[in-house]
Amino acid sequence: MNVLIDTSVWSLALRRQHLTEAEQEIVNVFKDLIRDARVAIIGPIRQELLSGIKKHEKFETLKLKLSIFKDIQILEEDYIEAAYCYNICRGNGVQGTHIDFLICSIAIRMSLPIFTLDKDFTSYAKHLPLKLL
């Protein structure tokens, strides 16, 4: 089964140099998912990863590395479900970003677990049928 990798995990694996033991374990799981061809990504996560890179050469290098991972197609229904997820969570006092709820929506539609370091997803999972890795 594929796993939808959130920006927080990608960032840890791609940008951090000095890792704690716990962080290295996360990166090892990430590497195993890549090795097993189980990585899933969506365009908004790709955009977040490429945003803020000041040097053009680094941008191009990362863009090339990410190009081996094909985006899951985002459907119109995903945006509607993301709004529904937002409303459910907001109604239960849980705040979140539109991108987070789009990630939730796609993960729910495709029955994908989400690999994230963002604790907000733990809160979302209390109200949405999410699987977290």
The pLDDT assigned to 95 comes to 96
pLDDT per residue as tens digits for the range 81-92: 999 999 999 999
Residues 61 and 97 in one domain: no
Residues 7 and 61 both lie in one domain:
yes
Query: Are 50 and 97 in a shared domain?
Result: no
pLDDT reported for residue 17 = 78
CB 30 within 8 A of CB 114: no
User: What's residue 129's pLDDT?
Assistant: 97
Check pLDDT > 90 for residue 34.
yes
| Residues 6+ positions from 119 with CB-CB distance below 8 Å | none
49 and 7 in a single domain? The answer is yes
**Domain match, 25 and 54 both:** yes
Please report whether residue 131 resides in a domain. no
Question: Residue 20 domain-assigned?
Answer: yes
Residue 99 lies in a domain: yes
Q: Flag whether pLDDT at 1 surpasses 90.
A: no
Q: What is the pLDDT of residue 102?
A: 98
Residue 107 in contact with residue 125, Cβ under 8 Å? no
Last residue of a domain, one of 42, 66, 90: 66
pLDDT over 90 (residue 130): yes
Domain that holds residue 33: 3-66
45 and 19 share one domain? yes
> Does 130 map to a domain?
no
Q: Please, is 133 exposed, middle or buried when counting C-beta atoms within 10 Å of its C-beta (0-12, 13-18, 19+)?
A: middle
Q: Order of strands, edge to edge, in the sheet holding 114-115?
A: 39-40, 3-5, 114-115
Residue 132 lies in a domain: no
Flag whether 71 is in a domain: no
Q: How far apart are CA 118 and CA 56, in angstroms?
A: 28
Mean pLDDT calculated for residue range 3-32: 92
Q: How far apart are CA 106 and CA 85, in angstroms?
A: 11
Asked whether residue 10 falls in the same domain as residue 42, the answer is yes
Last residue of a domain, one of 16, 42, 66: 66
State how many domains the chain has: 2
Per-residue pLDDT at 16 exceeds 90: no
Query: What is the per-residue pLDDT for 19?
Result: 87
